[in-house]
A and B are shown apart, each in its own frame.
Chain A
Amino acid sequence: MHRLLIASTLALGAAAPAIAADDITIGFAIATSGWMEAYDTPAATAAKIRIDEINANGGLLGRQIAWVEADTKTDRAQSAKAGLQVLDEGADMMVVSCDYDFGAPAALAAESAGINSFFLCAEDVKAGIQGVGPNSFSGSVLAAVQGATMAEWSHARREARTGYVLLDTTIEYNKGICTGFDWMFPQLDGTEIVGRDTFKNDDASIASQITRIKALPEEPDVIMLCSYIPGAASAVRQIRAAGINSLILNGSAVDGSYWLDATPGLSGFVVPVQGSIYGDDPRPEVEAFNVAYEKASGSRPASQYAYPGYILIDLWAKAVERAGSLDGAAVTAELEKMKGEATAFGARSFSGELHHQNSAEMQIVEISDGKPAVVDSWTISEPVPLQQLLN
């Protein structure tokens, strides 16, 4: 009896780690503190929702998915350390910070270990083959696609013929949006870019930029504002206060109604998004996700930047299933075969040249009287060429 007890204790003791060792481990090297946390946590929460769904459906390759996490503290040096830490803890795939600058050090660690890395929501072409290596991907849609979508949609649906480009030169993402707009808008019939200007996200005032717009002989039909919050909110407040009523076009970075108090009663403000957080997305799967997210985190997503987290786990898991392996190169090969792969948030494609979306269906959210709502959906007529992205 005594011997039996010892034997079973040993068996149990051995069994617990054996199950864990059989788990697939996803390593999150993301910011759980510092200012980046506000952007990483929602996307990581979404990723974990998809992991739970996969586990509930019997797991991946017949194994359960477990995850480990290390904090990059919104610091580039800590990011590399966090990457190494999750590798030490046995990560088979790594999810890194939203932004290229803060995610790349960890992604490079994943690359040298030969496993896949996914940026939570990077929208700069560098966050992939070009800036990390062959096994790195992003779950989001390139900034240039957002700018090009705005150009083509406003031309088709709002008769935009004259455009003004206002670029915030603080980060690469902003330049990406304007690149897309500058590529698409001049190609369209009867259009003209009547002026352009730059500012910095933390400028105390953009009075001189506004003076330049006011000095135009005619108010432009659209202003392409390539910026992010807080600078974008501040710019919009000052533009509208100055009595400029042009339609303001933006990238996805300004999605979310949390900042709308900065410009009470805002109208004529358009944002392209991967899915609507406002409960009016035409695709029921998106709203189902919003509800699941609220259940998991206690509140609905504050912006569309939760969605790429869900998408990236979804795509990666499908590729692993098809490759029948967790090997980075094998999974990459399967991911690169994806052409118009369906997800809850629209079709996604990867290629041997680009681990990003250079075209995607985007929902057009317009803010009227301070109320955001989906007014349309748009896919650009041709993908943004790689040459434009690398410029």
Chain B
Amino acid sequence: MNTAAQLFFDAASLGGIYAMAALGIALIFGVMNLVNFAHGQYIAFCVFALIVPSTDAVAVMFLGRAPAFLLIPLLLAVGAAAAVASEYAVFRHLRKATPVAMMISSFALGFVIQNALLATYGGRPKAISLWPELNTPVTVMGASVPLLQLIVILATLTVVAGLALLLKKTRIGLEMRAAAENFTMARLLGVRANVVITGAFALSGALAAAVALIMATQTGVADVRMGGQIMLVAFIATVIGGLGSLPGAVAAGFLIGAVSVLLQAYLPLDARPFRDAFLYTLVIVSLLVRPQGLFVPSSAKPRV
């Protein structure tokens, strides 16, 4: 077995999931300075959308029955719709509120979504049999890699490239970038605030749905608490990547995934249960060294 290649694929696939989630958070932060802590619950919501609402112990597939070519766009649309709906119901009324107030309401929104799922589906985790054949390992460069890992890596790269194109080449992308730089100025220059913000939420929700699909395929379970851990890592990735920087969020997502896999691989057994403590210590060190983030957008620098 090729150890270096194996480590690379393990790290890149975990990093890819984190990067995609971090991107979802960074997109919204970019346009409205909101750290959306409900993002993890969007992920859980999308996973549960795959099964029929019921508190029975045995889950019956709902959207999950659809063939892949239908299911993927459908679930991305569900995620986008959930995010846009929450913007319309909650965040639109908080445009003039302080970032702290918005952050607290995103926590509250997450709590509402989680408890709604709990009430609808019950507290017991459910099994989801989504594309089990994707977990079959294939041999690449001497490493044994589940097909899903390759798909995650490729999907992340595609999403990042697609988003970069969207931001660089389209009108909405230009408006989003303008809004991220200076929202007030952009509005004065005719950028349509509602379109930009709705667009950002829709993209963010679709990214949450993509993470949900990957998680459901990888783990085979749906649990109301499942978005929480990813949300935490993704948020940290957006912070150490430089808040507001999309490439920064992606790079930091990959970085955290890679460090996590390396720690798991090389820490001595007694220290391994404290893997996350080591990981977050490194995060603190990174913030002490570069408090503005590792990959800072030019807009973050004072211009005077």
Contacts and interface: CB of A to CB of B under 8 A. Distances in A.
Interface of A: 33-39, 74, 167, 169, 196-198, 200, 202-205, 207-209, 211-212, 214-215, 229-230, 233-234, 237-238, 241-243, 256-264, 299, 302
B265 A211 contact: yes
B1 A258 contact: no
The 5 closest A-B CB pairs, nearest first, are: A262-B220, A241-B135, A35-B123, A234-B219, A38-B124
B128 interface: yes
A206 B124 CA distance: 22
Contacts of A209: 264
Contact of B221 (A198, A200, A256, A259): A259
B52 interface: no
Nearest to B260: A208
The interface centre, meaning the residue of A33, A203, A258, A262 with most chain B CB atoms within 10 A of its CB, is A262
Nearest to A168: B273
Given A198-B273, A302-B57, A234 B127 contact: no
Contacts of B128: 261-262
B129 A261 contact: yes
A258 B1 CA distance: 36
Interface in B181-218: 215, 218
B17 A204 contact: yes
A37 B221 CA distance: 19
Contacts of A205: 10, 13-14, 17, 218
Contacts of B132: 237, 241, 263-264
A259 B127 contact: yes
A233 B9 CA distance: 22
Contacts of A196: 269
A200 B10 contact: no
A36 B9 CA distance: 37
A258 B128 CA distance: 10
Contacts of B1: 211, 214-215
B219 A237 contact: yes
Interface stretch (B70-78, B99-107, B222-230, B236-244): B222-230
Interface residues of B, number: 51
Contacts of A257: 58
A259 B126 contact: yes
B127 to A, nearest CB: 4
A182 B17 CA distance: 35
11 contacts: A35-B118, A198-B272, A198-B273, A214-B1, A229-B124, A230-B223, A237-B220, A238-B146, A243-B137, A261-B59, A261-B220
Contact of A202 (B58, B222, B228, B275): B228
Contacts of B269: 196-198
B265 A34 contact: no
The interface centre, meaning the residue of A36, A38, A209 with most chain B CB atoms within 10 A of its CB, is A38
A161 B173 CA distance: 61
Contacts of B6: 211
B218 A202 contact: no
B286 interface: no
A40 to B, nearest CB: 9
A207 B14 contact: yes
Contacts of A38: 122-124
